[in-house]
Amino acid sequence: MVKRKKKKKDASTTNELKKSSTDASATTSEIPCTPTRSNSSSSISSNNSDSDGDFLPSPLKRKRESGFEQGDLVFAKFNKFPYWPALFHSNCPKKKKANVYFFDYASLENKKTFAVSVKSIKPYRCAEKSDLIASGTEKYKEEYSSGVERALDYLQKRAVGKVHNFFEDVETTVSEEEDQSEHEEDLNNVEPIKTQNGGRRSDEGEAGNESEPESVASASNKPSFTSVLNAMEKKSKKKKKNMSTKYMNYILLNGKDLTHEIMSGRLKCARHDWFFYGSQKEKNQLKYMAGFGPISTENEIDKLIEKLKDWYTEYRKTLIPKNVNVISYIHDVLMPEVIVASIRCVKRLSRQKAEKRFLEPW
């Protein structure tokens, strides 16, 4: 009976950690706070910022480098396709790109965003609007016309207040880190779907049905817009999963020693100092500077939490006061520190750049 209760408690702790990380990451971009040093944490040397995490960038809401706001209706160009109707979502960590929802099955129905160059985004009500629509319709006929219809439908629904939580559960599919040459290679490798008469068909039923995963393009043998977006989505997911495994492998090999160094105070750690000695503002800020970062699969997240709990339990009796909230300490201090260390090693970044990368959207 004792063991069963312990397992139930452990499971509860794991769920609380996962929930707190999700809640914090969901609101990070909305919290305008700037780190300030309290007297208790001023002992962290500025000369040692590359090794002890002294540089903790603020999770400020990103400036509108593109000039657009979330929800703006735009035209966006992706690879060799014409300017396509889309919704602006957010600026990418790299200022020259932004995430958009295309009015296409692969993007809208599956809640996926794609990174495009900021220079390739135009306001929907631009001077070239008629020419852009004419060019797109000429090349991709029903598929493009369907995109325009969806865009107009969105505008009408938004005007009467029928659009709610449109950007909920967003997932960035094509990373800003993937260069244009990779996109073009995928574009050339996607095969069109043909019918017996040489035209295109969707996987189910007739063309133009919005529930179909493949849209009809032009009569030429070009891949459809949907098929290319789907191909990019699969490639991006595979890449994220592979990178997540690399980060986890580093943590499993080095996380225990790093945890011990932080808890013992031998490794200068701003998060650790803020947690115990910081002002209330600093302690609150820690929750918005946490999360799972690039650790993307459910199994790896569960494994990470369990490992951190084990390492914490092993060292807490001699290193940490008895009244410490284990969930908060793991979530606010240990988890971000081991993940930042893995990013720094795998990506070969400085501590400062690794911190910035951790706090940016994945």
Last residue of a domain, one of 160, 181, 212: 160
242 & 156 share domain: no
251 & 355 share domain: yes
Pick from 33, 93, 28, 21: which is nearest to 360 by CA? Answer: 93
Domain holding 146: CATH number? 2.30.30.140
- If one compares 202 and 269, the residue with the highest pLDDT of the two is 269
Last residue of a domain, one of 111, 135, 160: 160
Q: State the pLDDT at residue 194.
A: 39
Pick from 164, 166, 184: which is nearest to 174 by CA? Answer: 184
Residue 193 placed within a domain: no
Residue 30 has pLDDT above 60, yes or no: no
Residue 49 placed within a domain: no
Residue 123 placed within a domain: yes
- If one compares 121 and 322, the residue with the highest pLDDT of the two is 121
Residue 130 placed within a domain: yes
Q: State the pLDDT at residue 184.
A: 45
Give the Cβ contact number of residue 299 at 10 Å.
8
Q: State the pLDDT at residue 317.
A: 76
Last residue of a domain, one of 129, 160, 191: 160
Domain boundaries, position 125: 72-160
Mean pLDDT of 265-292: 91
Residue 129 placed within a domain: yes
Residue 267 placed within a domain: yes
Residue 182 placed within a domain: no
Residue 276 has pLDDT above 50, yes or no: yes
Mean pLDDT of 81-92: 88
pLDDT in tens, 131-183: 999 998 888 888 888 889 988 888 888 888 777 666 665 555 544 344 444 44
Q: Total domain count for the chain?
A: 2
- If one compares 206 and 52, the residue with the highest pLDDT of the two is 52
Q: State the pLDDT at residue 321.
A: 74
Residue 141 placed within a domain: yes
pLDDT in tens, 280-337: 999 999 988 998 989 988 899 999 999 999 999 988 877 777 788 889 999 999 999 9
Per-chain mean pLDDT for the chain: 72
Helix H, strand E, coil C: the string for the chain is: CHHHHHHHHHHHHHHHHHHHHHHHHHHHHHCCCCCCCCHHHCCCCHHHHHHHCCCCCCCCCCCCCCCCCCCCEEEECCCCCCCEEEEEEEECCCCCEEEEEECCHHHHHCCEEEEEEHHHEEECCCCCHHHHHHHHHHHHHHHHHHHHHHHHHHHHHHHCCCCCCCCCCCEEEECCCCCHHHHHHHHHHCCCCECCCCCECCCCCCCCCCCCCCCCCCCCCCCCHHHHHHHHHHHHHHHHHHHHHHHHHHHHHHHHHHHHHHHHCCCCCHHHHHHHHCCHHHHHHHHCCCCCCCCCCHHHHHHHHHHHHHHHHHHHHHHCCCCCCHHHHHHHHHHHHHHHHHHHHHHCCCHHHHHHHHHCCC
pLDDT in tens, 182-220: 444 444 444 443 333 444 433 333 333 444 434 434 445
Q: State the pLDDT at residue 34.
A: 30
Percent share of the chain, pLDDT over 90 = 29
